[in-house]
A and B are shown apart, each in its own frame.
Chain A
Amino acid sequence: MANPIIEFKNISKKYDDNPVLKKIDFEIESGKFYTLLGPSGSGKTTILRMIAGFEDPTSGEIEFEGHRIDLTPANQRPINTIFQDYALFPHLNVSQNIAFGLELKKMNKADIKAKVAESLRMVQLSGYENREITALSGGQKQRIAIARAIANEPKVLLLDEPLSALDHKLRKEMQVELRALQQRLGITFIFVTHDQEEALALSDQIFVMNDGRILQSGTPVDIYDEPINHFVADFIGESNIIPGTMTADYLVHFDHKDFECVDAGMRADEPVEIVIRPEDLDITDLDHGKLQVTVDSQLFRGVDYQITGHDSDNHEWTINSIHQTTVGANVGLIFDPEDIHIMRFGEDEETFDARLDSYEE
């Protein structure tokens, strides 16, 4: 990776002997949209607060554009944060909020005024200069918080679950806008969320975290299609995870049958877990199916039906289908070899990536 803007080197963090980050290493490239994705308590917010300067690492170093930054106080870092509760100043109006950082930099009044107007235009709230914060809706507050941060022209913008307080429709709108804003400004965004859908929709790169570690990093497509382990597969999207064994390269055994697949590089008869996404399964009649299941339930979800069933080994299968079926019926399931993804137990990211590279040209 050429010239990372932020680099974490062997970062650990403990609160009273309670480790929240365990030897984290990563690099962030300039101008991309990054997402730290994980359940609450996975350490993602701690990473964000360390980049902002609100927390110090217990050990390790953070570099910013090649220079150590973890000893620089937060108010001197070219990094701004958008907080979950927006953290606007209620005693100041919209333009005073946006001008806060600029006034501290002793910028002259005319420049501040221009910058405030420009920032408001960026978030599509031109003309809101004199509104009171208390008179704004949740979505507007969110935009003002973004305007306040980008007015300072930070090199990195940190977003701490900024959309979690908005309703579903507004959240979708803001996702589109955030993505567009990032591309227009070209600033590096680091976004923290526990919403996998949001992470997939917005990011160039996702870091999936759990229990103080980064489990997998990659593009949304990589992570969705090739999750490294059970946790990632389960956390990102819906999945059917079934135990099996690797018979040979490109051949996996589960449910008493061998199936053709596209993974290789494992020991013969190595126990593995196989992942098939519900939308990759299609329902057909019993004889044509590669697998046979009995339908247990069917839920209409608007875009599709979520069908659950079980096979003769009592493995649960989830199928997302636009076609209706009958509860209690025995049906066949078909899927393509590339729909099967194989996960080894305890494989780390480095070996995983190397193995994938060895047969994926």
Chain B
Amino acid sequence: MKSKLKLSNLYLTLVFVIIYLPIAYLIFYSFNTGDTMDRFTGFSMKHYATLLSDTRMISIVLNTVVIALLSALLATVIGTLGALWINQLKQRTMKNAVLSVNNVLMVSPDVIIGASFLILFSFLGFKLGFTSVLLSHIAFSIPIVVLMVLPKINEMPKTMLDAAYDLGATKWQTLSRVILPSITPGIFAGYFMAFTYSLDDFAVTFFVTGNGFSTLSIEIYSRARQGVDLEVNALSTLMFLVSLLLVVGYYLLEKYGHTRKINRNKMMKGPNAQ
């Protein structure tokens, strides 16, 4: 029994090592004094210095983050409303049809989505750049949000909505006071998923971005084609740290969601006690 456990631990460790080894390798060489990853010649922060003085790179990072935040936000709003709409569809076949259309977007290759957006935008005579990237990111994020929110809606007992209505709530009050608070975890999860999908999207962005606008993945790709620059390593290291912080932040936020509820109750207690 004990040796079996050890074996499974060993396996897990091995898997993680294999997954993280390339990243560790990349981070390690970001501190190299030399300009290649052939040989580690000594510790230095010079690649980080180059990165911080590279205004083009910094503006691209900002672009990427703005696109991710904004597209995730809009996709969350649209996706949540969409999930609510799908949920209240009475006809079973209609519901399944809409869900299938939603899921097809999830499984279809990014390249095809990107190419089709490019065709659409060129057909409409739309100028490629920030807006086209933003719109396409919103579009491919919506199905993700729908898939994250829908289970939460289904989990909600139907009698809860009846109860709200019974206690005098209008449709709108039921939505804002009962439905939305109940599905908040799903909405948050949807937002974070949409955010990460947007952040690391390459294929779709590659098609719909135009002259003068670029995101991180596109920039790193084009730089890597000209031979690996250790500035990219430095950037990747920072990005990795940021992702790590985001994950930690997400967990803290989830925990905070619970404690906030308790705090709010304490606050309720305050004025009551007076």
Give chain A's interface residues, CB within 8 Å of chain B: 52-54, 73-76, 79-81, 83-85, 87-93, 95-96, 100-101, 104-105, 109, 113, 129-130, 132, 148, 152
Contacts and interface: CB of A to CB of B under 8 A. Distances in A.
A81 B182 contact: no
Given A75-B165, A79-B166, A87-B159, 4 more contacts: A88-B163, A91-B181, A100-B169, A101-B168
15 contacts: A75-B167, A75-B168, A75-B169, A75-B170, A79-B166, A83-B159, A83-B162, A83-B163, A84-B159, A87-B160, A89-B163, A91-B184, A113-B272, A132-B265, A148-B167
Contacts of B125: none
A6 to B, nearest CB: 16
Task: Please indicate which of the listed interface residues A52, A53, A79, A83 has the most CB atoms of chain B within 10 Å of its own CB.
Answer: A83
A130 B269 contact: yes
B268 A100 contact: no
Contact of A100 (B167, B170, B262): B167
B182 A152 contact: no
B65 interface: no
Interface of B: 157, 159-160, 162-170, 173, 177-178, 181-182, 184, 261-262, 265-266, 268-269, 271-272
B159 A74 contact: no
A96 B170 CA distance: 18
A100 B168 CA distance: 9
A148 B271 CA distance: 21
B167 A104 contact: yes
B265 A105 contact: no
A53 B181 CA distance: 25
Nearest to B266: A130
A318 to B, nearest CB: 39
Given A83-B159, A87-B160, A129 B272 contact: yes
Contacts of B159: 83-85, 87
A54 B181 CA distance: 23
Contacts of B177: 100
A73 B169 CA distance: 11
Contacts of A129: 269, 272
B268 A80 contact: no
A83 B165 CA distance: 13
Contacts of B268: 93, 95-96, 130
B184 to A, nearest CB: 8
B168 A152 contact: yes
Contacts of A73: 165
Contacts of A91: 181-182, 184, 261
A87 B170 CA distance: 17
Contacts of B184: 91
A90 B261 contact: no
A108 to B, nearest CB: 13
Nearest to B166: A81
A73 B165 CA distance: 9
A100 B163 CA distance: 10
B174 to A, nearest CB: 9
A132 B261 contact: yes
Nearest to B171: A75
Contacts of A52: 162, 166
B162 A100 contact: no
Contact of A93 (B160, B164, B165, B265): B265
B167 to A, nearest CB: 4
Contacts of B157: 85, 87
A53 B162 CA distance: 10
A152 B169 CA distance: 12
B45 to A, nearest CB: 48
A89 B178 contact: yes
B264 to A, nearest CB: 8
A82 to B, nearest CB: 9
Nearest to B170: A75
Task: Please indicate which of the listed interface residues B165, B184, B269 has the most CB atoms of chain A within 10 Å of its own CB.
Answer: B165
Contacts of B168: 75-76, 101, 104-105, 152
A207 B177 CA distance: 37
Would you list the 8 A-B pairs with minimal beta carbon distance, nearest first?
Answer: A101-B167, A87-B163, A87-B159, A91-B181, A83-B159, A104-B168, A75-B168, A81-B166
Contacts of A130: 265-266, 268-269
Task: Please indicate which of the listed interface residues B162, B163, B265, B266 has the most CB atoms of chain A within 10 Å of its own CB.
Answer: B163
Contact of B167 (A85, A96, A152): A152
